[in-house]
Amino acid sequence: MSKKEINLQDYQLHEGDTGSAPYQVALLTQRIFHLTDHLKLHKKDFSSRRGLITLVAQRRKLLEFIKRGSEEKYLQVIQGLGLRH
């Protein structure tokens, strides 16, 4: 597993929230970290690599959606997850 743990509750807008864009970005980031670690061990697992690329594209689209809505929220999510230094 990845060494960086993401607390998903920090990105929920309310209790039981699983559909908001910040929560989905955090969940995708967690899955991306897991797949990245997996691919470091299994270099020839091309089907997992394709899934990883799909997840990264999906996360990028959600981040663009957040950025259109609120630049502050976008920066908060990016800094919280440690993306795009």
* Model confidence pLDDT, tens digit, residues 30-80: 999 999 999 999 999 999 999 999 999 999 999 999 999 999 999 999 999
Q: Which CATH architecture has domain 8-81?
A: Orthogonal Bundle (1.10)
Q: What is the pLDDT of residue 85?
A: 57
Q: What is the pTM of this model?
A: 0.91
Distance, in Å, from the CA atom of 20 to the CA atom of 22, rounded to the nearest integer, reads 6
Q: How many CB atoms lie within 10 A of CB 16?
A: 7
CA 50 to chain centre: 16
Average pLDDT over residues 10-17: 94
In the chain, where the domains are located: 8-81
Q: What is the pLDDT of residue 1?
A: 47
